[in-house]
């Protein structure tokens, strides 16, 4: 999962405009125009890093000549009290950029850390953790990037990344077979087609229709094991629905290839990170 820095630059402009508007009144009054400051980004709890490049971009938007130094990388674990980045530059500019930079990194590290917990739960099962489109509007790219920092994989960036035939699409088409036939006739050649199934007879129908992936939606663990036997590794199977930290291992142990979890982006809590004078 790569960040599109062109899009990130556009978003950072919007985020800074939201927070700053015309100018940072406090910094302008309290800090001399030519004052120089040196601040450290400190972990106030154990965290999985995500968003270092974005933080650097935010600070450089306000002070293009500032320095952003770190020996750490996104995806690494840091402990309480560690200073993982040091920023030096114009004091007014750095103080103005502080909240936007911290908001981003706190959110992204929270998602990365929660993702890492889910990944750890399914170690050894062979299943891969996927995210979903259940993201904060406007923040999808960075939240999905944070999932990858935590060891997960991205399912779809957006609706144009693949065809997902869900129950309502199938109802409109009349059947799984009809829906898949129409999708194959109109989709770009390299586009994968996934079908949602909540019953075993739908697994048979989707398999016969020649889909690329089947999503087992809210199935019991027993039925998922039967679906794994039916498919017999001919195509990948994805488990979705009702996946929590306390249920994911049992679901992964049914033999599915992927487990998708909306909670890793929907329910992650921002971590505690400070920007302190050094």
Give the strand order in the sheet containing 128-130.
128-130, 258-260, 237-240, 213-217, 193-197, 163-165
Q: How far apart are alpha carbons 199 and 12 in whole angstroms?
A: 45
CA separation (Å) from 166 to 160, 194, 222, 265? 15, 9, 22, 21
Q: Which residue is listed with tokens 């019991």?
A: 220
User: From the candidates 217, 238, 251, 257, which is the catalytic residue?
Assistant: 217
Give the strand order in the sheet containing 36-43.
67-69, 83-90, 36-43, 273-277
Q: Which residue is listed with tokens 């009144």?
A: 25
Q: How far apart are alpha carbons 235 and 180 in whole angstroms?
A: 15
The two structure tokens encoding residue 155: 């399912």
99 labelled catalytic: yes
196 labelled catalytic: yes
User: From the candidates 99, 225, 226, 263, which is the catalytic residue?
Assistant: 99
Where do the H-state alpha helices sit in 49-175? 52-62, 91-121, 140-149, 167-173
User: From the candidates 56, 98, 131, 196, which is the catalytic residue?
Assistant: 196
Per 3-state DSSP, the chain is made up of helix, strand and coil in percentages (nearest 5) of 45, 20, 35
User: From the candidates 134, 182, 226, 263, which is the catalytic residue?
Assistant: 134
- Check if the beta carbon of residue 16 is closer than 8 Å to that of residue 65: no
166 labelled catalytic: yes
Q: How far apart are alpha carbons 258 and 272 in whole angstroms?
A: 31
| Active site amino acids | 99, 134, 166, 196, 217
């Amino acid at each position: 999962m790569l960040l599109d820095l062109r899009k990130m630059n556009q978003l950072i402009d919007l985020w800074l405009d939201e927070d700053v508007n015309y100018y940072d009144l406090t910094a302008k009054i309290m800090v001399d125009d030519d004052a120089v400051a040196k601040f450290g980004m400190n972990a106030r709890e154990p965290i999985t890093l995500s968003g270092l490049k974005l933080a650097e971009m935010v600070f450089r938007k306000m002070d293009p000549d500032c320095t952003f130094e770190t020996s750490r990388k996104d995806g690494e674990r840091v402990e309480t009290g560690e200073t993982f980045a040091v920023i030096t530059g114009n004091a007014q500019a750095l103080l103005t950029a502080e909240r936007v930079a911290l908001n981003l990194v706190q959110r992204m590290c929270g998602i990365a850390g929660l993702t890492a917990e889910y990944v750890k739960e399914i170690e050894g099962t062979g299943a891969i953790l996927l995210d979903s489109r259940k993201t904060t509007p406007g923040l999808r790219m960075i939240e999905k990037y944070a999932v990858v920092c935590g060891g997960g994989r991205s399912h779809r960036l957006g609706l144009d990344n693949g065809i997902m035939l869900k129950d309502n699409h199938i109802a409109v088409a009349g059947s799984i077979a009809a829906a898949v036939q129409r999708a194959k006739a109109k989709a770009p050649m390299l586009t994968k087609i996934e079908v949602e199934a909540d019953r075993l007879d739908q697994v048979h129908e989707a398999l016969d229709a020649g889909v690329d992936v089947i999503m087992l939606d809210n199935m019991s663990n027993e039925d998922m094991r039967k679906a794994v036997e039916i498919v017999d590794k001919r195509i990948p199977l994805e488990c979705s629905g009702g996946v929590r930290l306390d249920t994911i291992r049992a679901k992964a142990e049914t033999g599915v290839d992927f487990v998708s979890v909306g909670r890793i982006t929907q329910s992650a809590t921002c971590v505690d990170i400070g920007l302190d004078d050094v």
